[in-house]
Structure 1
């Protein structure tokens, strides 16, 4: 079989956040689990320098030429940004390719459909490149985060990229450096319901993230020892004169979320998980 005839196939799961929702972009820990719904990409090289992408699930088709820097055609143009990122990282494409992207992950439901797509796309691009490189799951997660979040100055964190790239259940800490722990506890099965009401994830992330970061910045200026990493919800009374009611609620929710995540991590690391306390 020639290089032009060789099929490249990859797939990536979506994810659910078990504990620490909206925490990773504040450098606070999260626990996430991959789900059985996946994004799949199948493609093969073609002569020429064009990329053809079929998206039958949404009745769309995209095509663009390979160049040193591919211009973006829309906001959050992850398909093109990923190619640009791979080119910047030394990958080359001496021929174009055609692929089909399909998936069962519901869109705009908080199950990381876009991140799973980007993770699959990065994996696919590395394998179909001239280098035909098989990246580690950690490398894929880092590149996917850069393509989706950093490239477009988005508010999201790294949970989606690590949880979809690594699979299983993970405990992710991003401060003071990235630390991922695979958790092997048996949580049984989850039923994922879809209300079919779209979730505007980006706007929610921006509002919560910017709100907490603004509070933390102001308190840090007044109290140099202020640190979200070590602050407890019980100590909020020390800042009652510095924050309004809404700000206190937002900060309390953030710290309580952190505490619950840490308690869940301890339970999931124990020899015998307390199912009643865990909520199974």
Structure 2
């Protein structure tokens, strides 16, 4: 038994917001803001979890089974999931958690905390399968989404667990591929308006799935992954006006994600093209899915007017943060423009290598 330090970064979604729960691909990256979990052994048979940044103390008996889960209690759900994989806590730890990921901002502070916790548990107590970044990511997804029956997808856990820039194919068979380790010129802007997650994702997912189901009634062989943007008009004729925006958004966002993947596979990245695709992606999120708010719109406009190549809202929406693609070396005036437009925080970020034991 010894001190264990578990680090898990935040993430930003570059392309594919509101796509992973539809079985469509996502391009995301871990970013250089993180959660740090420091665990020191104790003799109390308890996990004493001190979350300094939010001034909360959680005490969990190591043999607690959690037959019933409180909503969004990811400490509990992960303990329950990991037991099925042979991770059985047999000693207590005093745990201190700190971090510099803005809370409720769309950069996955809660998923980073969960992944750091899971990585600590499997390294402290062992687990039957091999401990890999993909395994840690899968445990995060099972603990947060599946165990609680939440409507989210896999993007957060795999981009945090695997790290770097990843292309995540959310279909079965699932795959997560590292497509880059560096992307200069990235900026995060935090609106200070708490994002919506559970309700907003649930509504958008439900409407999108209803639209897809309606299309399949008329086109039984329809495959969302193979649909092309040029076919939109044909399909929209079969949808009521209420559902059309959700279907159109799925097709268009998938289109921009596929084009972005081509750019990321080139030996030299064209940041202007990547930024332009970000802008087209954001228009869909703003005008079709309507997940922005006035302050987010003002921040996007300010970034572009200050010379950014592209900018888009990140995550579930209704607030949260934006990601900006800038010319490397030109981040400072864009950061200032974001702050002047109402952002409570704005800062350059780099690509992080992912969850790890220090």
TM-score by length of 1: 0.92
Residue 218 of structure 1 is matched in structure 2 by 214
* 1:249 and 2:245 correspond: yes
Q: Distance in 2 between matches of 1:171 and 1:50?
A: 39
**Alignment coverage as a number of residue pairs:** 276
Q: Which segment drifts farther, 178-187 or 138-147?
A: 178-187
Alpha carbons 1:15, 1:111 under 8 Å: kept: yes
What's the TM-score once normalised by structure 2's chain length? Answer: 0.73
Which residues in structure 2 correspond to 1:32-71 (within 5 Å)?
32-67=28-63, 69-71=65-67
- Counterparts of 1:27 and 1:132, CA distance in 2: 29
Contact 2:30–2:164 (CA under 8 A) maintained in structure 1:
yes
Runs of 4+ with deviation above 4 angstroms: 130-134
Of the three residues 126, 139, 149, the one matched with 1:143 is: 139
Structure with the larger RCO, 1 or 2 (CA within 8 Å, 6+ apart): 2
Which residue of structure 1 lines up, in the alignment, with residue 94 of structure 2? 98
Matched, 1:259 2:255: yes
Contact 1:45 1:128 in 2 (8 A): no
- Corresponding residue number in structure 2 for 1:158: 154
Pick from 80, 99, 116: which aligns with 2:112?
116
* Secondary structure of the corresponding residue to residue 191 of structure 1: strand
Root-mean-square deviation over aligned CA pairs: 1.9
- 8 Å contact 1:42–1:99 — kept in the other structure? yes
Corresponding residue number in structure 2 for 1:7:
3
Q: What are structure 1's unaligned runs of at least 5 residues?
A: none
Distance 1:31 1:240, change over 3 A: closer
- Confirm whether residue 231 of structure 1 aligns to residue 227 of structure 2: yes
2:183 corresponds, among 168, 182, 187, to 187
